[in-house]
Chain A
Amino acid sequence: MAGRLPARLMAPALLIVLLAFWQILTRFDHPDFVLSPLEIARHVVEALRSGELLPHVGASLARALPGFVMGSSIGVVLGLLAGVARGLDQLLSPVVFLTYPVPKIVFLPIVMLWVGIGDVSKVAVIALACFYPCFINAYYGARGTPTIMVWSGLNMGARQWQIFRKVVVPSALPLVFAGLRVSLALSFILLFSTEMINARSGLGFLIRQSESSLRFDLMYVAIVAVAVLGYVADRLLLLIRRRALAWQEAASR
């Protein structure tokens, strides 16, 4: 098949064609809120230089990271424990699975009422949303531990705590990371929506404010920043996973 693009180049080619198409379209008559890709790139550089962007990035991260860390660590720990201890399982699982399909954003107004409209309410809602995927994945990860491994551990004289540490946790780890990845994406969605609903700083606020003051350049800059943040955070998590699960990759090779 001569003249056919190699598979690796196909996606970049499609992307370039799309961007070029967009760029050409903006040459014609278009509404104010449509900016060409080159213009957006220029505005991003400008905003980085003028310092308009970075304080908002900092404010957003200061909300997302504590929420993600708190919610997902509590979720992973409780999920693992509920996966191995029947009493805790019966206590927690019905509540967690029943409330799982509830959109967690509806708790924002309630939390706002209790702790005020400051950052605490946003962090709390992000933590709550991050809790669920982590709990559920860690729970099934722990429950899916091959019985035979637990038996061999017991047979070799391991204590319960050792079994948990050395057998249950490693075998649950792939699912735990799957849960963390979902939680990370959720934390960003919740972050920007809570900031759009009410905030005085952060990227979500910047998007809304620049939109309502018709500064479309700044709006696109903020959207690009959101996209980059979400992408980079996801890649970082995948990198950590590759480190932590090196044994698994080696085994599957």
Chain B
Amino acid sequence: MRGSWPALASGLRRVALPVLGLIVWEAAARSGLVSPLIAPSITRIGYQLWLLVTQPASLVEVWYSVARGLGGFALAAVVGVALGVVMGRSATAAACFGPILSGTYPIPKIALFPIFIYLFGIGSLSKVLLVFLECLYPIVITTQAGGRAVSRVLVWSAANMGASRARVVWRVVVPATAPFIFAGFRIAMPIAMVVVIITEMISSADGLGYLVMYSLASFKTDRMLAIVIVIALVGVALDRAVVRLRNRLVFWERLESYYAE
């Protein structure tokens, strides 16, 4: 049992910061030095969290945010993968769209939100389309890079065996690009949630972003922090879901940590 002490030490180090943070927080809340409006105790946040996840009314708000995020993300995934594959395989398409995409990539699309509200209304549509626009870029860029990197030998052998051009794209290029496509999805998913929460904070009457601003405005700090925790959990869960899906579909190349490919 000589190896157990270093293992224990490294295990302790892994949880040191979160535990320390929680202890400091609880001590500050209990000591009475900090107003509960600024740092409510963990038990109160936990109680609000319990209320949030057990009441159907608040679960509906979670659903609104997730549905908007996933809707825009799905749209961006379909359009982005199609555009990326075409740009990766055709020099003409790359010359057409490439400069426009890379020129508008650093522009914060969130600035267009007011115009989107005028064009598509203040409801879900403007938010979903903004999510789509923000998610499109990382997906197109990574897919294009992957499409370009497909081994020429694979394409040639498929063509040689009589596959049509569409068939080569569908059966060779898309599977070979899949790891890149999922790398793009992994970048786009957190962006989707960020944009949903931001747009709901700016103008909305439902969704998690709205709930955060509403509880802040009514000084229900414990509730606000509970919602922040819910948002965080949703973000982590969606990211895990993308990784799970990736490992299932791209079974020949496992993804362990964030950049492990």
CA–CA, A196 and B106, complex, Å? 19
User: Known interface pairs A10-B95, A231-B103. Does A102 touch B18 (Cβ–Cβ under 8 Å)?
Assistant: no
* A14 near B224: Cβ-Cβ < 8 Å: no
Residues A192 and B111 in contact, CB atoms below 8 Å apart: yes
Is B259 part of the contact surface with A, judged by Cβ < 8 Å? yes
A-chain residues with CB within 8 Å of residue B193 when the two chains form the complex: 101, 103
Q: Could you tell me if B236 and A98 are in contact, using CB atoms closer than 8 angstroms?
A: yes
Closest CB-CB distance, A156 to chain B, in whole Å?
30
Check A234 against B106 for contact (C-beta < 8 Å): yes
- Does chain A have a CB within 8 A of B75? no
B18 pairs with A105, CB closer than 8 A: no
Residues on B with beta carbons closer than 8 Å to the beta carbon of A15? 100
How many interface residues does chain B have, given as a range?
A: 35 or more
Chain A residue numbers with a CB within 8 Å of B96 are: 10-11, 14
CB distance from A3 to the nearest CB of B (A): 14
B88 CB to closest chain A CB (Å) equals 15
Contact of B249 with A by CB under 8 A: no
Known A-B contacts A90-B10, A110-B225, A193-B202; A103 and B231 likewise in contact (beta carbons under 8 Å)? yes
- Any B CB within 8 A of the CB of A109: yes
Task: Give bound CA distance, A222 to B257, whole Å.
Answer: 41
Task: Please pick, from B104, B225, B235, the residue contacting A103 in the complex, using a CB distance under 8 A.
Answer: B235
Cβ–Cβ < 8 Å partners of A104 in chain B = 194
Interface residues of A, count at CB 8 A? 58
A7 adjacent to B106 (CB under 8 Å): no
Please, which residues of chain B bring their CB within 8 A of the CB of A207?
111, 114
A7 and B110 in contact (CB under 8 A), knowing A95-B17, A101-B239, A102-B236? no
- The 8 Å CB contact of B258, one of A97, A197, A227, is A97
Q: Which residues of chain A (46-104) have a CB below 8 Å from chain B?
A: 86-87, 90-92, 94-95, 97-104
A99 to B232, CA, bound (A): 7
Which secondary structure dominates chain B's binding surface?
helix
B213 to A, closest residue via Cβ: A109
Q: How many A-B residue pairs have CB under 8 A?
A: 151
Task: Tell me the residues in window 223-243 of chain B with beta carbons closer than 8 Å to chain A beta carbons.
Answer: 224-225, 227-228, 231-232, 235-236, 238-239
B189 and A109 within 8 A (CB): no
Question: Counting CB contacts under 8 A, is A169 at the interface?
Answer: no
Chain B residues with Cβ below 8 Å from A12 are: 99
**Chain B residues positioned under 8 Å from A233 (CB to CB):** 106
Interface residues of B in 100-138 (CB under 8 A from A): 100, 103-115, 117-119
Given A193-B198, A197-B202; A211-B190 close (CB under 8 Å):
no
Is A113 a contact partner of B38 (Cβ separation < 8 A)? yes
- In the complex, whether A240 has a CB less than 8 A from a CB of chain B is no
Q: Are B111's CB and A226's CB within 8 A?
A: yes
Contacting pair A11 B228 (CB below 8 A): no
Residues of B within 8 A of A151 (CB): none
Question: By the criterion CB–CB under 8 Å, are B108 and A196 in contact?
Answer: no
Write 22 A-B pairs (CB below 8 A) sorted by A numbering. Answer: A10-B92, A11-B96, A12-B99, A14-B97, A91-B13, A98-B236, A108-B201, A110-B228, A113-B216, A136-B259, A184-B106, A188-B106, A189-B109, A192-B108, A197-B202, A208-B114, A226-B108, A227-B107, A227-B108, A230-B106, A230-B108, A234-B106
Assuming A8-B95, A103-B197, A136-B258, what are 14 further A-B pairs, CB within 8 angstroms? A7-B95, A11-B95, A14-B96, A90-B10, A94-B14, A100-B258, A101-B235, A106-B197, A110-B225, A188-B108, A189-B108, A192-B110, A222-B111, A223-B112
**Which 5 A-B residue pairings sit nearest by Cβ, starting from the closest?**
A234-B106, A11-B99, A101-B239, A7-B95, A102-B232
